[in-house]
């Protein structure tokens, strides 16, 4: 019998996870220690599911919604499940507190994946009875529109837990990637951070406006990267493939990296300048509306990607 | 009267430019010093235009094709035009030779944009009579599918030349970005290089496979970046916008950057390991077929982007 999935933490990330699992046909039990967060959950879910149906990303929003139930006791969400996705507030002490509670009520084989985007599992699972079952399963927000998930074991996480989490993510349509051991920022935010650092530096030195640096990605680099990674991209950018590319351009990229060998903090002045340019383009009060636009763009892109996969015969 | 546009160099990049201009309704005169390159041009153009029509990115491939004429003298391509796009082989001496020839035959007001992806215009236009009219206008390949264009003036390029090139790119549907002064790699390849450097380092240190690093971008970061730049992305990733985000995460990103403060060359062993992983995924003889797949994916993505722009009312 297929067991339900537990979701602990029903904010933006947790509610997104509930949709991922329910969309794939799984029953979901959601708990949050804040009563208000649980109260607003149904309306938030309905709004997201309506959007997904509009973009033909799900057939029947009511059916998906019906698979998600709210419970007001932690033990009810996690007691009879094989897998729990934890998405509580990202601070080590908050994570630690919930894992101590979870450790008392979960079964001995229940795997718990944390949505932590930066804190490694070793910082909040050390010393717990079932720590071999705990690991990071880091999504991008919202997880039902951006499929990648970083699987990051603590030093004591069992291979079985890694395999179970990976198989589950595969089975619900996410794209799991294996980060073999803990590293600050994992892979995704390290890659993002590297690009951001160069972007901030170019802006600080006056080479280009914030808007033009953004366009260089959105009308340039990001087009290929939306369906091919950076290595596959360069593999096709030299006649002899990746080796040929690395030999031709390694020297140029090394020279550029050496110009950046003394990383500096993003200064208050730099941040204020960037803030002014962004707020001129988009007032702070319109940020929420623009985020909705972003999510709708991501939905349209997801529909497009599904069509392309079908066309590729995958 | 609207004058034709000159295209010098009819390889992959030059033929792509011919399509950009002709698609926008401009007459194009193409020259290449290699007779064979000119001979194969019509077939290559027809194949690309057929693909574009299939994805409904152009209405009438024959009309677009008819606007492109081949000339066998450099002076005939550039003699009576306002703008020339130069896309000869990327080596400083080759560029220098063609600019010396161009300088003798162009009119005093003709702007010449170089497709150079890395060599700044100052390295091949110094001392020429019309050097104030010459600058870099760097596309991504193929330019008719990836719209960004970096406009990079040499120290002696006139503001008028920069404005003319920018207006032209706008008018033919490209997305020009201003790189205010010369810098090694310009903006696009510096951003790509920064992300690549971190990707290679994570791979070298065994944190993830090449394939999983690629997926982190293609199923993650690259989705948003295909329609929003890195600054707009982080502006929406904290409640208070970009300032809030920079203050929250600046410390983490600085720590990560400091771990990379001693850039090393991509070693022979590292490149060989990456090469082996890529060639297991895609044999070298299939690289051409995969490049065609990439171009068709880009075409489908372009059609999707055009739909979204229309839906946004832009």
pLDDT per residue over B51-99, tens digit each? 999 999 999 999 999 999 999 999 999 989 999 999 999 999 999 999 9
Residue B261 has a pLDDT of 87
| pTM, 2 dp | 0.96
B231 touching chain A per CB within 8 A: yes
Structure tokens, A151: 């699987």
Residue of A190, A267, A301 to mutate for B, most B C-beta atoms under 10 A: A190
| Residue-wise pLDDT tens digits, B185-225 | 999 999 999 999 999 999 999 999 999 999 999 999 999 99
Distance CA B26, CA B98 (A): 24
How confident is residue B234, by pLDDT bands cut at 50, 70 and 90? very high
Please provide the average confidence, as pLDDT, over all residues in chain A: 95
- Verify whether the Cβ–Cβ distance B229 to A214 is below 8 Å: yes
Contact A146 B223 (CB under 8 A): yes
Specify the pLDDT at position B309.
85
A64-68, B25-29, B244-248: least confident range: B244-248
CB contact (8 A) between residue B216 and residue A311: no
Express as a percent the part of chain B with pLDDT over 90: 92
- HEC string of chain A equals CCCCEEEECCCHHHHHHHHHHHHCCCCEEEECCCHHHHHHHHHHHHHHHHHHHHCCCCCCHHHHHHCEEECCCHHHHHCCCCEEEECCCCCHHHHHHHHHHHHHHCCCCCEEEECCCCCCCHHHHCCCCCHHHEEEEEECCCCCCCCEEEEEECCCCCHHHHHHHHHHHHHCCCEEEECCCCCCCCCHHHHHHHHHHHHHHHHHCCCCCHHHHHHHHHHHHHHHHCCCCHHHHHHCCCCCHHHHHHHHHHHHHHHHHHHCCCCCCCCHHHHHHHHHHHHHHCCHHHHHHHHHHHHHHHHHHHHHHHHHHHHCCC
pLDDT tier at B1, thresholds 50, 70, 90: confident
Whether the predicted pLDDT of A177 surpasses 60: yes
Mean pLDDT in residue range A271-290: 96
Q: What is the pLDDT of residue B221?
A: 98
Taking phi over 0 as left and psi of -120 to 50 as alpha, with beta for the rest, A168 belongs to alpha
Query: Is the pLDDT reported for residue A274 higher than 60?
Result: yes
* CB pairs A-B closer than 8 Å: 358
Do B261 and A263 count as a contact with CB atoms less than 8 A apart? Answer: yes
Q: Do B224 and A294 touch (CB under 8 A)?
A: yes
Chain A contacts of B216, Cβ < 8 Å?
148, 150, 177, 187-188, 191, 229
What residues of chain A, 121 to 140, have a C-beta less than 8 Å from chain B?
A: 140
**Interface contact flag, A231 B219, Cβ < 8 Å:** no
Residues of B in contact with A202 (CB under 8 A): 183, 187, 190-191
Residue B314 pLDDT greater than 70, yes or no: no
Instruction: Assess A289–B contact: CB distance below 8 Å, yes or no.
Output: no
Closest-CA distance, B299 to chain A, in angstroms, reads: 11
Coil vs helix vs strand at B212: helix
| pLDDT (0 to 100) of residue B304 | 93
Q: Does B240 touch chain A (CB under 8 A)?
A: yes
A284·B214 Cβ contact <8 A: no
| pLDDT on residue B308 | 87
Q: Which residues pair with A28 in a beta bridge?
A: A5, A68
Average pLDDT over residues B259-283: 94
Q: What is the pLDDT of residues B111-139, one digit of tens each?
A: 999 999 989 999 999 999 999 999 999 99
Q: Whole-angstrom distance between the N-terminal and C-terminal Cα of chain A?
A: 29
A144 vs B314: CA distance, rounded Å: 27
- Portion of chain A with pLDDT greater than 70, in percent: 99
Residue B56 CB neighbours (<10 A): 12
Separation in Å, CA of A76 to nearest CA in chain B: 32
Domains observed in chain B: 5-178 (3.40.50.720), 189-281 (1.10.1040.10)
Beta-strand (E) ranges in B122-268? 134-139, 148-153, 175-178
Q: Shortest CA distance to B13 belongs to which of B183, B170, B145, B142?
A: B142
């Amino acid at each position: 019998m297929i067991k339900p999935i537990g979701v602990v933490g029903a904010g933006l990330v947790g509610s997104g996870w509930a949709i991922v699992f329910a969309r794939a046909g799984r029953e979901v039990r959601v708990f949050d220690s804040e009563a208000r967060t649980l109260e607003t959950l149904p309306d938030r879910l309905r709004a997201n599911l309506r959007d997904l149906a509009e973009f033909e990303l799900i057939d029947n929003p009511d059916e998906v919604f019906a698979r998600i139930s709210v419970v007001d006791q932690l033990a009810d969400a996690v007691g009879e499940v094989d897998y729990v996705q934890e998405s509580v507030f990202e601070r080590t002490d908050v994570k630690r507190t919930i894992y101590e509670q979870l450790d008392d009520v979960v079964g001995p084989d229940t795997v718990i994946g944390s949505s932590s985007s930066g804190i490694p599992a070793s910082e909040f699972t050390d010393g717990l009875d079932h720590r071999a079952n705990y690991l990071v399963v880091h999504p991008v927000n919202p997880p039902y529109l951006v499929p990648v998930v970083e699987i990051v074991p603590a030093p004591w996480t069992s291979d079985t837990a890694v395999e179970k989490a990976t198989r589950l993510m595969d089975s619900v349509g996410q794209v799991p990637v294996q980060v073999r051991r803990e590293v600050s920022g994992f892979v995704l935010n390290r890659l993002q951070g590297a690009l951001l650092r160069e972007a901030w530096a170019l802006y600080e030195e006056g080479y280009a406006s914030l808007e033009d640096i953004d366009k260089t990605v959105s009308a340039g680099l990001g087009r290929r990267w939306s369906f091919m990674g950076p290595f596959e991209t360069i593999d096709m950018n030299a006649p002899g493939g990746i080796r040929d590319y690395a030999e031709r351009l390694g020297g140029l990229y090394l020279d550029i990296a050496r110009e950046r060998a003394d990383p500096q903090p993003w200064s208050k002045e730099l941040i204020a300048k960037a803030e002014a340019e962004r707020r001129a383009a988009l007032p702070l009060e319109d940020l929420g509306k623009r985020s909705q636009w972003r999510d709708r763009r991501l939905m349209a892109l997801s529909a497009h990607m599904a069509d392309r996969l079908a066309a590729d015969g995958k």
